[in-house]
Amino acid sequence: MSAPTQAPQPALAVEHLAFSFPGHAENSAGRLYDDFSLSVQQGSILALMGPSGSGKSTLGRIMAGILSPQAGEVRRSAEFRNRWDVVYIDQHPINSVFPWQTVARNIRYPLKKLGWDPAQRKERICYLMSLFRLGALADAYPASLSGGELQRVALARCLSWKPELVILDEPFSALDRKVKAEIIAALQELAVRDCITLVLITHNISDALALGNRCVVIGQRPVRIISDLEFSKGFPREPGAPDYAAMQQALIAGIRDGLV
């Protein structure tokens, strides 16, 4: 658990960000974000933690370019040439799929629209369908799926075109432990295989520990970084694995220190 080492080029950096929702006080004390900076290293898995209402989702949406900050900037790596290289996956998976398309079409649609050639498309779809175990559900409509199945479809769809950076907003909040573990394993495989940088927004310590290799806790208003911890790599991370308890202790201590 050393201090984060500075990579030469971050995948994405927010610098001197200021943001408040319309109707809220515009002065710097009332702002949700005021002079906030954070950078995400290429290839890392950053767990972004904070209590409910702390502005985690807002930060994720600013990073993805869905919300525009009032001041400051969001800089993407120069290697991200396309708009779709950074994707935000909503915490309700139904918002990330088209309910009028079957599971298979949901995964195929973005690839088709982004101009993948049919052979590549087919191979990628086969891989994702088996990774997320969606084969039996290919012809089902999203409305008929369970929460875990729907989350798998949303992830397969939003990771289909190999985005460079993926912001996952509370992807496990509605899932039981077993389903969560399966999805985490699939995400880890995909992140390594496609060199995807992940930002995981969560309020759950064990989720942050399971996936993250750096954990940033934010809180207070205006938002600031309360603690910033780097974890050793190496998966799977389960309670009982070496170092797990130590990592957990450090994270809890970090959160406690911040909540003064």
Partner 1 sequence: MAWSKPNARKWMLLGALLVLWAAVSGARVVDPIILPTPWSVVRAVPVMFRERLLSDIGLTLGRVLSALAIACVFGIPLGLLLGYRLSMYRIVEGPLHALRSIPASALFPLFLIVIGVGEKSVVALAAYPSLLVILVNTVSGAALSNKRRLYQARLWNLDTLDTIGEVLFYEALPRIFDGVRTAVSYALMLVIAVEMFIGLGERGLGRGIYEYQATYRIPETYGAVIIAGIIGILLNEVVTRLQNRMLRWLPYVHEEQ
Residue 113 within binding range of partner 1, rule CB under 8 A: yes
Q: Is the bond preceding 222 in cis, omega lying within 30 degrees of 0?
A: yes
Q: Are 93 and 150 contacting, i.e. CB atoms less than 8 angstroms apart? A: yes
Q: Which stretch binds partner 1 (CB under 8 A): 1-9, 12-20, 99-107, 250-258?
A: 99-107
Alpha carbons 92 and 94: distance in angstroms, whole number: 5
Query: Closer CB to partner 1, residue 41 or residue 160?
Result: 160
Give the closest residue to 105 by CA, choosing from 140, 131, 151, 143: 140
Kindly state the DSSP code that residue 97 receives in the 8-state scheme: S
Query: Closer CB to partner 1, residue 34 or residue 164?
Result: 164
Residue 21 within binding range of partner 1, rule CB under 8 A: no
Residue 84 within binding range of partner 1, rule CB under 8 A: yes
Question: Cβ 115 to partner 1, closest distance in Å?
Answer: 10
Near partner 1 by CB under 8 A: residue from 9, 37, 70, 95: 95
Q: Which stretch binds partner 1 (CB under 8 A): 34-42, 80-88, 116-124, 236-244?
A: 80-88
Residue 80 within binding range of partner 1, rule CB under 8 A: no
Residue 149 within binding range of partner 1, rule CB under 8 A: no
Give the closest residue to 156 by CA, choosing from 179, 182, 132, 120: 132
Q: Which stretch binds partner 1 (CB under 8 A): 82-90, 129-137, 212-220, 227-235?
A: 82-90
Residue 81 backbone zone (phi > 0: left; psi -120 to 50: alpha; other: beta): alpha
Q: How many CA atoms lie within 13 A of 207 on its CB side?
A: 26
Residue 258 within binding range of partner 1, rule CB under 8 A: no
Q: Which stretch binds partner 1 (CB under 8 A): 68-76, 87-95, 183-191, 238-246?
A: 87-95
Q: How many CB atoms lie within 10 A of CB 199?
A: 27
User: ∠ at Cα 162 (102, 166), nearest 5°?
Assistant: 90
Give the closest residue to 132 by CA, choosing from 107, 100, 161, 168: 107
Site string for partner 1, 53-72 (x = CB under 8 A): -------------x------
Q: Are 228 and 62 contacting, i.e. CB atoms less than 8 angstroms apart? A: no
Alpha carbons 196 and 166: distance in angstroms, whole number: 7
Residue 88 within binding range of partner 1, rule CB under 8 A: yes
Q: Which stretch binds partner 1 (CB under 8 A): 44-52, 137-145, 175-183, 218-226?
A: 137-145
Question: Cβ 237 to partner 1, closest distance in Å?
Answer: 31
Question: Cβ 80 to partner 1, closest distance in Å?
Answer: 13
Q: Are 115 and 82 contacting, i.e. CB atoms less than 8 angstroms apart? A: no
Spacing of C-alpha 34 from chain mean position: 23
Residue 83 within binding range of partner 1, rule CB under 8 A: yes
Q: Which residues bind to partner 1, rule: CB under 8 A?
A: 66, 83-84, 87-88, 90, 92, 95-96, 98-101, 110, 113-114, 141-144
